[in-house]
Each structure stands twice: as C-alpha cells, then as structure tokens.
Amino acid sequence: PPVLQFHDVTAYRNDTKVMDQFSMTINPREHTAIVGPNGSGKSTFIQLLTHQLHPLAPEGDTPPIRVFGKDRWIVSELRKRIGIISSDLESEIRHNLNHGRLSGSEVVLTGFFSSMQLFGHHRITDAMKHKASRTLASIDAAHLKDRRFNRMSAGEARRVLIARALVTSPEVLVLDEPTTALDLVARERCLQHIRNIARQGTTVLIVTHHLEEVFPEVTNVILLKEGRAAFSGPKKEVLTSD
Ligand code: ADP
Ligand code: ADP
C-alpha cells in the first residue's frame, strides 16, 4: 500500500478551515516535497499525522487519511516506521529532551521509546547503544555523542534530531522545515545528509516554504495554498509551469 494517502481531507482549527479537501498519495521510494508559504497548512499536515488535529468525518466511506493502508494508527508505534522531525525545536527541548540536558547519544536513544518517561524507565540494550552510535556517525555527528544538546549549534542539533528519527530505521522520514534557523553552510550540509538518506532508499517527505529545498532526488511536488493542493504531480511539471 501507499505510505500515506489523504483523501479530501478537511480540517478546522477553532472556526477556521485550515485544510480544504486536500488529497495526495505518497508511494514507497517516491521523494516528495510539500511546498507552501507561511499559513498554507504545512504544520496542519504534520499535526494530522501525529493526531494533534483530526480531519472532518468523510461524506462517503473512504477514510480521509490512511497510513500504510490503515485508517487508524497509534502515533507512538508509527515512530518506528515514520520518523518525523518537528520544526519546533523549542517544544522538542521542553517536552522530549529534558530541557536540552540530554547528551547527543541520549537524544538519539530516545528515538527507541515513545516518550521521555519510557526512555527513563526502560533498559537500554547494547544493541540500542550500538545502533545509536552508528546512526550518529552516519550523519557526521559521532563527535556529538557526549555533548549536551543545549550546547550544540542549530546545525548540530538538527543533525542529532535527524539521527534520533533514523535510529529505528524507519521506512519514511518526514522533515518539517529542516533548515529553519540554520546558516548557509549548516543548511547545505543538512540538505546533503537528507539527500544521502533519500538515495539510500528511505522515502523522504520534506515540508518547506523554501523552493531551494526541493533537492534533486525529489520526484513529486505538492504546492499547498490555503489548505488546498494548488498543484500535485511530478517535479518536472511544477518547475516548468508557474
Ligand atoms: P504553515 O505551517 O504552512 O505556516 P499552518 O498549518 O500553521 O501553516 O496554518 C494553516 C492555517 O491555519 C493558517 O491560516 C493559520 O492562520 C491557521 N492557524 C494556525 N494555527 C491556528 C490556530 N491555533 N487556530 C486557528 N487557526 C490557526
Ligand atoms: P548556528 O551556531 O548553527 O549558526 P545558533 O546557535 O546561532 O546556530 O542558533 C540559531 C537559532 O537556533 C537560535 O535562535 C536558537 O534559538 C536555536 N538553537 C540553536 N541551537 C539550539 C539548541 N541546541 N537547542 C535549541 N535551540 C537552538
């Protein structure tokens, strides 16, 4: 089945319609960019995946959202198959990273658990530690294993969060505005790592307001505008239309 299917998804926040009959399909091994200006519905899209927001009930029988073919999913279980990297660093730090006091390798190890609480109460196996080091190394961050998260630069912090999302070897990686607050060098480096991940076979979905972040491996583009898909299709078609 497709990784993700949205079928006529409509969602409200308070009384505002924030997603309006939005449809899309992402198949395994397709790399997709969801591009849209601020306020177009990019965070809404992520919140629908993580159950922070719910779509309106459908008019017919087709479920509005299916993830790996299922219309019900448990967010904590989804983490093993879809790594989601939030753009909200501050909230991550407060809620999931013990206010930034975790070291790089501890941050990556939290990826094995559904919450900070579980991380604190579970035995961390040698296999997990081994996987965490290998994942950090794969993203040029081996040297950050003992560095406290809140002592890292923005670029380093992003790479460690990417490692956390990858540590369970998910089939899909979703990145929400991955280069926000990065300087030019850190941004290029971050994108290079994302490209490597895509080439190695993980399905990548990047959500961004920067067209420059539509990296060469991206096959499909969805242009979001006011909660609707203004365009959805192969990248070469978007870039030739306007
Ligand atoms: P993006 O992530 O692309 O910037 P959002 O998904 O955050 O866009 O926002 C989509 C729409 O939802 C915007 O029109 C925005 O003003 C509106 N919105 C965002 N947060 C809220 C909220 N808490 N209540 C009502 N409307 C909201
Ligand atoms: P860089 O050194 O990579 O240029 P900065 O350290 O100047 O990045 O950070 C840019 C922004 O990112 C700051 O506004 C800061 O809030 C945020 N930031 C940077 N590092 C962290 C971190 N480790 N934890 C939380 N936020 C961070």
CB 11 within 8 A of CB 48: yes
Shortest-distance Cα residue to atom 6 of ligand 1: 41
How many whole angstroms from 154 Cα to the centroid of ligand 2?
4
Question: In the predicted model, what is the mean pLDDT of residues 34-50?
Answer: 94
Provide the token pair at 119.
């991380």
Q: Are 12 and 18 in contact (CB under 8 A)?
A: yes
- DSSP state string for 70-110: BS---HHHHTTTEEEE-S-HHHHHHHHSGGGTSBHHHHHHH
In tens, the pLDDT along 164-222 reads 999 999 999 999 999 988 999 999 999 999 999 999 999 999 999 998 899 999 999 99
Q: Pseudo-torsion of CA 67, 214, 200, 170, nearest 10°?
A: -30
Whole-complex ipTM? 0.61
Give the Cβ contact number of residue 35 at 10 Å. Answer: 24
Comparison of pLDDT for 87 and 33, the residue scoring more: 33
Ligand of minimum distance to the alpha carbon of 14: 1
* Residue 40 pLDDT: 95
Residue 91 is encoded by which pair of tokens? 């909230």
In the block, residue with structure tokens 């087709």: 62
Q: How many whole angstroms separate alpha carbon 61 and alpha carbon 242?
A: 35
Pocket probe mutation, ligand 1, options 18, 43, 210, max atoms within 8 Å of Cβ: 18
Question: What does pTM read for this prediction?
Answer: 0.85
